[in-house]
Amino acid sequence: MGRIKTAMTKRVSNKLLEEKGDKFKDNFEDNKKVVDELLDVESKKIRNVVAGYITRLVKSKKSKK
């Protein structure tokens, strides 16, 4: 079984992809920096979870094309 993402993680990630989708790539390290710029997150863990979920979504969109 995979890890379950919270509704907050999914909501924030989808909102960022809708608004700033062109800034995100399929590289976690780059996405982590972009999320840090766009969000005011106090926790590194939350930032990393959001960046990881965005990376996963971007990769899945690429494979569908």
pLDDT of res. 12? 95
Per-residue pLDDT of the chain (65 residues; tens, 9 = 90+): 677 889 999 999 999 999 999 999 999 999 999 999 999 988 999 999 999 999 999 999 888 77
pLDDT of res. 61? 87
Under a CB-based contact definition with an 8 Å cutoff, are residues 3 and 43 in contact? no
pLDDT of res. 3? 78
In terms of Cβ atoms closer than 10 Å to its own Cβ (0-12, 13-18, 19+), residue 17 is middle
pLDDT of res. 1? 61
